[in-house]
Amino acid sequence: MGSGENKVVLHGMWASPYVKRVELALKIKGIPFEYVEENLRNKSPQLLKYNPVHKKVPVLVHNGKPVCESLVILEYLDEVWSTGPQLLPKEPYQRANFRFWAAYIQQLLESIFKLFNADKEAHEKPLQEVHEKLRNLEDGVKEFYFPEGSPNHISAENLGILDVMLVSVLGPFRAKEEAFSVKILDPGKNPLLFSWIQALIELPLVKEVVPPHDKMVGVLQFLKQSGFKF
């Protein structure tokens, strides 16, 4: 495609994990894009036009055509920009495996949201659910994603969909721990996941995407105090 046929606009909100995964994927694949910050309390006519069903971010607009839902957008990026870095492997079985665990990391995010929605006294059950999913994730990806047993090979040049998903969910994990007054990720219980996310958030490319700690804590605390529910 020529540059004149390749205009990409991302409508998002700076704290959204769903937006962050699309933003990081665009950067990994080296796709130039325009970013439009949306006020979700006063949604723009463009957002309502491009996503009339859910009226949510992210929305990727490619040459005037909108694509909605973050996981759908990630696969769209791989299919349209098929040269260069790929988020998903080409081999069908590997691709299916990666898609399964990407969806599981999304389920982990939904479990973390239950912590946000619960009162402090009711954290025990949702926290157990989060820790169980973390154990399952660590056991599940250990052999096929980290055959050498550690994430030492991670670099900006070989990031894929699982790295993107993990950054969107656990990149700001310390902000979530502070805002929710819980311990989400324990290096003693989840050494591989802890090393994985630590290696990722040290990459300059990822640092550009992960929200600032204090700003993230502030918005989470504000939302919780105002009665917002995910």
What is the homologous superfamily of the domain 8-80 according to CATH? Answer: Glutaredoxin (3.40.30.10)
Residues 201-229: tens digit of each pLDDT: 999 999 999 999 999 999 999 988 877 77
Beta strands in 15-92 (DSSP E): 34-37, 59-62, 65-68
Q: 88: burial class by Cβ within 10 Å (0-12, 13-18, 19+)? A: buried
Answer CATH for 92-226 from 3.40.630.30, 2.60.120.200, 3.30.450.20, 1.20.1050.10: 1.20.1050.10
pLDDT-based confidence at residue 115 (cuts at 50, 70, 90): confident
Q: How many whole angstroms from its chain centre is CA 27?
A: 13
- Report H helices in 92-151: 92-117, 124-145
Task: Report the alpha-carbon distance of residue 64 to residue 202 in Å, rounded.
Answer: 35
Residues 163-196: tens digit of each pLDDT: 999 999 999 999 999 998 899 999 999 999 999 9
The span from the first CA to the last CA of the chain, in angstroms, equals 39
Mean pLDDT estimate for the chain: 93
Task: Report the alpha-carbon distance of residue 194 to residue 187 in Å, rounded.
Answer: 5
pLDDT of residue 95: 96
Give residue limits of the domains in the chain. Answer: 8-80, 92-226
Looking at the chain, the whole-number percentage of residues with pLDDT higher than 90 is 81
Asked whether the predicted pLDDT for residue 153 surpasses 90, the reply is no
Closest CA to 61 of 11, 136, 135: 11
Task: Report the alpha-carbon distance of residue 152 to residue 178 in Å, rounded.
Answer: 28
pLDDT of residue 6: 87
> Which of 5-19, 30-44, 113-127, 181-195 has the least mean pLDDT?
113-127
pLDDT of residue 4: 47
User: The tokens 């994927």 sit on which residue?
Assistant: 25
pLDDT of residue 2: 41
